[in-house]
Amino acid sequence: MGEARDGVKVKRVVFVTVGTCFDALVKVADCQEVKDELYRRGYTDLLIQMGRGSYLPAKSTGDDGSLAVDYFTFSSSIADHLRSASLVISHVGSGSIFETLQLGKPLIVVVNEDLMDNHQSELAEELAERKHLYCSRPLTLHQTIASMDLNSLVPYTPGDATPVAKLINRFLGFPEES
């Protein structure tokens, strides 16, 4: 919760990242239902990386006892935003997903139903089955936020590419390093 400490409220930021363009996610993240639910669950700020979508969220300072809302289109690296977030809501981009999981941040992934080839939902569903994140659609984001139990998420162990390097070295005939 945003407790007052020496009069300063602890910031709990929800970072929404949509990649290139995902208006449906920006719209639903900015809708009153979702914002109220996030505020109810103790978040104080909502920051939306909106890409080149056409829907502009309404900025808010949050001084009136509600969520502070801000947005930007793109940034060369979202790493800092991910690092300072208490909750990440992301489109299904492998980069965003694994950067977030490696930082150990709670993650809700939102599948874009408008995309033609939806193989991307395979990754979201698999990671959700393994309980590393929550998977949602724009229309069900509100319910996901309302019912999520972040303590039930299983931490993700980052992968390691060394086995691939070893297999390639072995194939090429390099001696095995001890």
Residues making contact with another protein (CB under 8 A): 76, 92, 94, 98, 102, 119-120, 122-123, 125-126, 158-161, 163-164, 167-168, 171-172
* Min separation Cβ 134 and another protein, Å: 17
By C-beta, is 42 or 158 nearer to another protein? 158
Q: Which helix (H) or strand (E) holds 133?
A: none
Q: Concatenate the DSSP letters of all residues of 8-39 into one string.
A: EEPP-EEEEE-TT--HHHHHHHTSHHHHHHHH
* Min separation Cβ 171 and another protein, Å: 6
User: Residue 144 and residue 134: Cα distance in Å, rounded?
Assistant: 8
Residue 110: C-alpha distances to residues 63, 89, 124, 135, 177 (Å): 29, 7, 8, 6, 43
Contact call for residues 46 and 69 (beta carbons, < 8 A): yes
* Min separation Cβ 43 and another protein, Å: 27
By C-beta, is 70 or 125 nearer to another protein? 125
By C-beta, is 25 or 145 nearer to another protein? 25
By C-beta, is 154 or 167 nearer to another protein? 167
